[in-house]
Amino acid sequence: MPASRLSDLLGDFLVPGEPSKIRYFHGRGKTVPELEWLTVDRFAPVLVATVFREQSAEMMMALRNSLQNQLQLLDCTVLVIQHRYDGKADNELVCGELPELPVADEDGLRYKLDFQRGQNLGFFADMAEGRRWIRERAEGKKVLNLFSFTCSFSVAALAGGAQSVVNIDLSDAALTLGKQNHALNGFQDAKVHYLPHNIFRSWKKLHSLGRYDIIVIDPPSAQKGSFMVEKDYPKVLRKLHKLLAPEAEILACVNAPWLDYDWLEQCVADNLPGAEKVSRLPGAAGFDEAGEPALKTIHYRYTRPEELDN
């Protein structure tokens, strides 16, 4: 594709949108085949473009110019381009100065961004509907947030009135950022546990903290040495009956382009008796997909089978 076409292709996307919209261009959704290598996110005042495949110097110059020309329209003053290819994830500050506390704003809640982390800034905008889902039903509930990363589900649950939340993730650094997210939103004194542990070695600890009314399962798809989705997701599901309240709800998530909804639904059906599918959650604003989305999120209602008590 000629670099001269870039501005024309991006022009319709880089315009002001709804207040909670973060993803402004989702090339990885393959709706614009020439730009599958690019995404653009807005964390005002910062605009972040992520390049997933190395481009020519001419194309990169066209990208910088095109995005800088749109900054004022999008109420931004800072442009960052992340180069994420060849096993690296380098953040290039093109113009402006990063805020002392860069954040993602979503539905009145704030989540800290860390531009020193590498490829993940600490917040996944594609999970917006999942956070709304838990916020809407968390009042008075005990919540278990498996693979919690920086605890955005926990923050949303507490905003919805959750009684308590247990967050577990192998990364202590991610949980530290999660604690900061709670403090940013006034939940530093809430009843929250942060467990920097391997889930597969922590079932007794999780059980000791109670039966849970809501469990979120949002694992990495492939994390060598700790979690491989096709092998390990069924193992997680088979353990949940010891952690769930007799009547509970589950948000089952998989972010893996090579696995479809049928795989996830069959995995739950085979490994968690008592789980009944309620609905698939819609995608977040801006994450348009030409086919089935990479991120699948399904709401299940759980009723403990009588035979488990017998």
Asked, for residue 152, whether it belongs to a domain, the answer is yes
Query: Which pLDDT does position 254 carry in this prediction?
Result: 97
Asked, for residue 253, whether it belongs to a domain, the answer is yes
d(CA 221, CA 248): 25
Query: Which pLDDT does position 142 carry in this prediction?
Result: 98
Query: Which pLDDT does position 4 carry in this prediction?
Result: 80
Task: Name the domain boundary from 83, 100, 117.
Answer: 100
Read off the pLDDT of residues 37-56 as tens digits, 9 standing for 90 and up.
999 999 999 999 999 999 99
Q: Are residues 60 and 209 in the same domain?
A: no
The structural domain count of the chain equals 2
Report the 10 Å Cβ neighbour count for 88: 10
Let me know: does 116 contact 89? Beta carbons within 8 Å.
Answer: no
Query: Which pLDDT does position 271 carry in this prediction?
Result: 98
Q: Which portions of the chain are predicted below pLDDT 70?
A: 118, 310
Q: Are residues 273 and 175 in the same domain?
A: yes
Query: Which pLDDT does position 310 carry in this prediction?
Result: 65
Query: Which pLDDT does position 78 carry in this prediction?
Result: 98
Asked, for residue 183, whether it belongs to a domain, the answer is yes
Query: Which pLDDT does position 294 carry in this prediction?
Result: 92
Read off the pLDDT of residues 165-185 as tens digits, 9 standing for 90 and up.
999 999 999 999 999 999 999
Domain that residue 44 falls in: 3-100
Query: Which pLDDT does position 2 carry in this prediction?
Result: 80
